[in-house]
Amino acid sequence: MSLVATQEVTDTIGYLIVQLCKLYRNATAEKLAPLGLHPGQEMMLCEISQSGGGLTQGELAEMLAVQPATVSKMLSRMDAAGLISGCRDVNDGRITRLHLTEAGVRAHDEIEVVWGDLERQTLANFTIEERVLLRRLLMQVIANLGG
């Protein structure tokens, strides 16, 4: 019998990862609240910004590995807040392409500050070598899980 099979659930790496995700999400929510954003919306704004705009809702759902219905609901809120706009594709009028508004660009700039603060807080007291190793290990975990 392997060591993993005899471990208590609370002693597993997976349990620690779940705890980490909850703590990180809560810290993110706290820092995004003054911007009028909810966790997940910042990632959508960043993906739209990084792509140069023009993503479709389906592309965004695929990039973020979430259900299209989830993306639709979040985009509706972001549209109502004036952060994004959609325009019809010039070659296929059935397709709507997403772009950041001026307010969305400003929010994106503020998100980068928030994520920088979270990164510094998360990795406080880590050496450069430990940060590089942690990043490599997390990327391997993601790959192992099919990401």
Q: Residue 92 carries which side chain, given as an amino acid letter? A: D
What is the mean pLDDT of the segment spanning 70-82?
92
Rg, the chain, Cα only: 18
Structure pTM?
0.80
What does the pLDDT read at residue 1?
45
Q: Please answer whether residues 59 and 75 qualify as being in contact, where contact means their C-beta atoms are separated by less than 8 angstroms.
A: no
Instruction: Provide the number of structural domains found in the chain.
Output: 1
What does the pLDDT read at residue 2?
54
What is the mean pLDDT of the segment spanning 68-83?
92
18-55 residue pLDDT tens = 999 999 999 999 999 999 999 999 999 999 999 887 88
Band (pLDDT 50/70/90 cuts) for residue 5 is low
Q: What is d(CA 89, CA 78) in angstroms, rounded to the nearest whole number?
A: 20
What does the pLDDT read at residue 94?
83
Q: What is d(CA 44, CA 57) in angstroms, rounded to the nearest whole number?
A: 10
Domain residues for the domain of 139 are 3-144
What does the pLDDT read at residue 110?
95
As a whole-number percent, the residues of the chain with pLDDT over 70 amount to: 96
Handedness of CA 11, 13, 18, 24 (dihedral sign): positive
Whichever domain contains 40, its CATH number is 1.10.10.10
Average pLDDT, the chain: 91
What does the pLDDT read at residue 97?
87
What does the pLDDT read at residue 54?
86
What does the pLDDT read at residue 92?
78
Band (pLDDT 50/70/90 cuts) for residue 4 is low
As a whole-number percent, the residues of the chain with pLDDT over 90 amount to: 78
